[in-house]
Structure 1
Amino acid sequence: MFNPAEFCWNELMTRDLEGAKAFYSAVLGWTFTPHDDAGTYWIARKDDTPVAGLFLMTGDAFEGIPPHWFSYIATDDLDAAMKAATDAGAEVVRPPFDIDCYRIAILLDVTGAAIGLSQMRADPA
């Protein structure tokens, strides 16, 4: 599931978690489990296999941004991938940070498209 240079995770960024869960449950048969105590991130599952995340967009950081699907590409060396990306003209939106067993970063490619890069951490503490 985590192969470098391949898409490895997708998240729905939305302001309506309940509407999204109802829609994807009806259309795709997904079930959902909360990932955090605040209820702002949910894991979508198909036959108990995680298939996507749903993220509640709240606050000023998301003002003017429409709901959308956001994708991550796997890398085996996030620092090297970020250097290559910025050398190639990418703009860093959010530098690398740790979340669960992953280290991720968000950038804009040279066309302005937002993308996440992700590396599985060796120490998933």
Structure 2
Amino acid sequence: MDTTTAGGPGIPCWAQLGSPDPRTAAAFYGALFGWDFTEDPARGPGHLTARLRGLPVAGLGPVGDLPRPGWTACFTVHDTGKAAAAVAAAGGTVLARAAAGGVEDLYADPSGAHFAVREPDARQAPSAAAGPGGFALAELITDDVDASAAFYGALFGWTAGDPAGPLGRREWRLDGTPVSLLLPRPAAMPRETPPYWDAYFSVTDVAAAATRATLAGGTLLMPSTDIGSGSIAVLLDPMGAVLTLVEPRA
């Protein structure tokens, strides 16, 4: 498949939080990950860039065009115009196109899960994302694995691997390289929770980080759990956004 035509390459590159109170959210994530924050005028009033060791790791801002508070995973594309056409052709919805000089385009897939795309920009590269406290990966939680695989396959050229583990989690791959995860809705996930892209953030000790998060005002939704490649814990931040902590296995 020609992923240039479809808008590819589809590599996770950034995570952006939409929050009803970005400043309160910043206090939480600062306590959890050691982030500090600078104003991000390119995105508009109320937007912040989270930094770790002086390097950008994530963005925080108002809910804006999002259907609800939450983290949005962003993927690189060669051409945002081609990506917009590919999203529409595959059955997705345009939520917001960036104005001239803007940063990202926001979309919803056919299930309603929102995600963003942008062309690579070295000025905003999440340089610290490879280490603890950085955006590690994204996972789509969906009610229809086949439909999701078809949509993102058409958009980015991804292929879904075989289900693994008790929850049937799959790796999404691009040219054989893992780029994200695909998870059928777990039985414990409330039915009223719509499909969504979950943002994973790397930590060195997931149990200790989960405790730190609850002390900072977060809610533990799932305690430290082994998923084979490491351990994860799922949290709700004080403003209602879900996130996952991951302690990768060496």
TM-score normalised to structure 1 length: 0.87
Name the count of aligned residue pairs: 122
Closer/same/farther in 2, CA of residues 89 and 38 from structure 1, 3 Å limit: closer
Q: SS at 1:3's partner residue?
A: coil
Partner of 1:30: 158
Match of 2:237 in 1: 109
Matches of 2:218 and 2:147, distance apart in 1: 34
Distance 1:71 1:90, change over 3 A: same
Cα RMSD between the aligned structures? 2.0
Deviation at 1:41, TM superposition (A): 2.2
Counterpart CA distance in 2 for 1:57 and 1:120 is 22
| Percent of paired sites with the same residue | 35
Greater relative contact order: 1 or 2 (C-alpha under 8 angstroms, separation 6 or more)? 1
Change in Cα spacing, 1:27 to 1:72, as seen in structure 2 (3 Å) is: same
> In the aligned structure 2, how far is the partner of 1:90 from the partner of 1:58?
21
Report the CA distance shift for 1:34/1:118 in structure 2 as closer, same or farther (over 3 A).
same
Amino acid at match of 2:205: D
Alignment partner, residue 20 of structure 1: 148
- Please state which structure has a larger fraction of its residues in strand: 1
CA distance in 2, matches of 1:4, 1:25: 30
CA distance in 1, matches of 2:242, 2:229: 22
Give the Cα separation in 1 of the matches to 2:212 and 2:240.
Answer: 16
Residue of structure 2 equivalent to 1:10: 138
Q: Displacement, 1:58?
A: 5.1
Mapped contact 1:13–1:69 kept (Cα < 8 A): yes
Q: 1:55 aligns with which of 183, 191, 213?
A: 183
Unaligned runs of 5+ in 1: none
Mark the runs of 5 or more structure 2 residues left unpaired by the alignment. Answer: 1-128
Residue type at the aligned position of 2:218? A
Quote how far apart the aligned CAs of 1:56 are: 0.9
Post-superposition offset of 1:47 = 1.4
Contact kept? 1:15, 1:58, Cα under 8 Å: no
